[in-house]
Amino acid sequence: MSTDERATVSLPVRNDADLMTVRQRVRTLAQELGFGLVQQTKLVTAASELARNTLIHGGGGSVTVDAVSDAQGRDGLTLTFRDEGSGITDVDRALRDGYSTAGGLGMGLSGSKRLVHEFSVDTALGEGTTVSVTLWRGHASHGPR
Amino acid sequence: MQPGASSVPVLDLGGILLISIQGELPDDAAVDLRTDVTLAVSETGARGVIIDISGLDMVDSFLARVLAEVAASARLLAAQAVLVGMRPSVAITLVELGLALPGLETSRTVIEAASRFGVEIRDRGDQPAARGTDRTPT
């Protein structure tokens, strides 16, 4: 995966209004890259879940959006959410459906993983968490729409 | 009806309430909506609550939870909530996210939902019925 000089957008995730901005920008960038409607919706939904995690669990942070392409020439978008919060104690547990420490549905992290092609969590206790996801264009099991 | 704290109007159609969520909803407005709807059910004695989400291009787990809670509160007050107009792309995404919302009743259109409660809304044909399509302008 390379980032070959293309668009990189960085956005703050500090409050409720930032979540809306993140959703709107991710939607626009996915449209510009030619993502189909279902893929746009999946990526925007994953972005909303992960940005909310950054805000609620990480105490705020930022997200960068990178247009990427792989060796096969596929285009995609990578979203990287960073916070400097307390970190995740047990990542495997946090990725389980229905597990929540904030009284939510516990589907944010586990559900987001299902909406994208690549998903990674890098976390250290007391230092923060970075969650990175990538969706490739036209690779969804539901077709290119 | 007095507008509540949320920015979303709750319309009393005589026995049923119609809530049409247009465009993006900030988290706090979604939470306010839950309160507004619950109070409106109590004040009006409505039997049905129709929630039209044809204007939404995304429903995440936060909003899904609010919608489920609106339905649960309504049910405790002997009213039934019916979700109308979800776009296909939103439905696909929600199911994949793991939130099929089994506790929520659904109808295809507001007219169909209203008829469940014996309320007839005439479609004059000059306005398209709210129905979730991925072509609905945001």
Alpha carbon distance A29, A100 (integer Å):
30
In chain B, what percentage of residues exceed pLDDT 70?
Answer: 88
Instruction: Say whether residue B133 is in contact with chain A using an 8 A CB cutoff.
Output: no
Do the beta carbons of residue A126 and residue A23 sit within 8 Å?
Answer: no
Chain A partners within 8 Å of B62 (Cβ): 48, 52, 104
Structure tokens at A138: 């036209």
Beta-carbon count within 10 A of A92 CB = 9
Chain A partners within 8 Å of B65 (Cβ): 104-105
Instruction: Say whether residue A71 is in contact with chain B using an 8 A CB cutoff.
Output: no
| Domain architecture of chain A: domains with CATH | 8-136 (3.30.565.10)
What is the fold of B10-116? Transcription Regulator spoIIAA (3.30.750)
pLDDT digits (tens, 9 = 90+) for B17-68: 999 998 888 888 888 999 999 999 999 999 999 999 999 999 999 999 999 9
Size of interface A-B (CB pairs under 8 A): 75
Chain A partners within 8 Å of B100 (Cβ): none
pLDDT > 80? residue B136: no
What is this model's ipTM?
0.86
> Domain residues of chain B, as ranges?
10-116
Residue ranges of chain A with per-residue pLDDT less than 70: 1-7, 102-104, 139-145
Instruction: Say whether residue B24 is in contact with chain A using an 8 A CB cutoff.
Output: yes
Q: Are the beta carbons of B89 and A49 separated by less than 8 Å?
A: no
Alpha carbon distance B135, B132 (integer Å):
8
Question: What was the pLDDT predicted at B59?
Answer: 95
Alpha carbon distance A84, A86 (integer Å):
7
Question: What was the pLDDT predicted at B27?
Answer: 86
Alpha carbon distance B54, B89 (integer Å):
11
Q: Which amino acid is at B56?
A: L
When CB atoms are compared, the residue of B27, B57, B134 closest to A16 is B27
Question: What was the pLDDT predicted at A103?
Answer: 63
Q: A72 pairs with which residues across the strands?
A: none
Q: Are the beta carbons of A48 and B60 separated by less than 8 Å?
A: yes
Chain B partners within 8 Å of A49 (Cβ): 60-61, 97
pLDDT > 60? residue B133: yes
